[in-house]
């Protein structure tokens, strides 16, 4: 299948490469030329513009930073050139209400839309094992499920339009609070004189073990905060979660607390680091380095 793909950032590039590896033809566009050149070297075709993508592909996937960028690309670009009966799958992480707004504009033009955000960060984008959460019409989901399966190990239809992003917000709350809990717990072990690496080995197979712990504790212990998922992006996701929580009157007490920690780190210039950099907040509070155990 010929697929249009717009947005070739830290996630989009490996996702395109997995589509190519599955035998799809991909027409790719991004405002950053080096990103386009990277996927072209892997076999993609470069599009000259958003309209060029829209005219050449029945299925277009977008992977963009946030709702305003998705609205600009879809409402200000794709809808003017896509044929009726085409499909847009937005794999960005945006507010559910924004996905519903864009869907309504697409429907008015006879174009189907799904919201399909992902979880797993760059490592799982690279190996094609993302978790993909999808909202929208079930028949459209069935039509594109195999395409999404080229990028993810789990592809789940969560409900109507916006359900994918609601699921992603729940995911991001759990991940953020898990990283904060891990940071707090390993600081406790360090301050008490117990090697955090041994604590990790002892508890990772028990009830406290998690994918988040397995992915982030080694980074914390190594002092490696190169981004698999940037703190700035997680702040964006939690802002959308808080806005959505307020809209549906759902309390988000712990999310609010972790958001304040993240914003403090961002203000100190750490926004482009991996979100596991939350651990350094506890190091600054205590004057103790988890990595060195001192």
Q: Please state, in angstroms and rounded to a whole number, the distance separating the CA atoms of residues 145 and 127.
A: 18
Catalytic residue among 168, 216, 230, 236: 168
User: What backbone phi and psi angles, to 5 degrees, belong to 44?
Assistant: -75, 165
CA-closest candidate to residue 115, choices 175, 58, 180, 71: 71
CA-closest candidate to residue 62, choices 37, 34, 98, 38: 98
Neighbouring residues of 266: CB distance < 8 A, sequence distance ≥ 6:
231, 232, 235
CA-closest candidate to residue 144, choices 88, 70, 84, 98: 88
Burial class (CB in 10 A: 0-12, 13-18, 19+), 96: buried
Enumerate the β-bridge partners of residue 112.
87
Neighbouring residues of 123: CB distance < 8 A, sequence distance ≥ 6:
215, 228
User: What backbone phi and psi angles, to 5 degrees, belong to 57?
Assistant: -135, 135
Q: Is 124 a catalytic residue?
A: no
Note whether 95 and 101 are within 8 A (CB). no
Note whether 69 and 63 are within 8 A (CB). no
CA 14 to each of CA 38, 41, 150, 159: distance values in angstroms, whole numbers, following the listed order: 10, 12, 11, 27
Three-class secondary structure of residue 267 per DSSP:
helix
Three-class secondary structure of residue 7 per DSSP:
coil
Residues recognised as catalytic: 168
């Amino acid at each position: 299948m010929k697929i249009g793909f717009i947005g070739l950032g830290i996630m989009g590039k490996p996702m395109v490469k997995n589509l190519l590896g599955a035998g799809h033809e991909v027409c790719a566009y991004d405002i950053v030329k080096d990103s386009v050149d990277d996927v072209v070297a892997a076999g993609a075709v470069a599009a000259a513009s958003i309209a060029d993508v829209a005219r050449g592909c029945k299925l277009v996937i977008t992977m963009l930073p946030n709702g305003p960028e998705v609205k600009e690309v879809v409402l200000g670009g794709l809808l003017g050139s896509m044929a009726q009966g085409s499909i847009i799958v937005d794999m960005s992480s945006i507010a559910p209400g924004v996905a519903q707004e864009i869907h309504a504009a697409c429907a008015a033009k006879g174009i189907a839309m799904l919201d399909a955000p992902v979880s797993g960060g760059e490592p799982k984008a690279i190996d094609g094992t993302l978790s993909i959460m999808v909202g929208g019409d079930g028949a459209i989901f069935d039509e594109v499920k195999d395409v999404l399966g080229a990028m993810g190990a789990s592809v789940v239809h969560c409900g109507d339009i916006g359900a994918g992003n609601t699921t992603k917000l729940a995911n991001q709350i759990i991940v953020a609070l898990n990283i904060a809990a891990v940071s707090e717990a390993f600081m406790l072990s360090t301050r008490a004189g117990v090697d955090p690496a041994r604590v990790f080995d002892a508890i990772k197979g028990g009830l406290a073990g998690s994918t988040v712990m397995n992915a982030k504790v080694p980074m914390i212990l190594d002092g490696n905060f190169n981004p698999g998922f940037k703190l700035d992006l997680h702040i964006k996701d939690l802002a959308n979660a808080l806005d959505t929580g307020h809209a549906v009157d759902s309390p988000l007490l712990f999310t609010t607390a972790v958001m304040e920690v993240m914003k403090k780190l961002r203000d100190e210039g750490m926004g482009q680091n991996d979100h596991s950099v939350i651990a350094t907040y506890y190091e600054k509070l205590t004057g103790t380095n988890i990595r060195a155990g001192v």
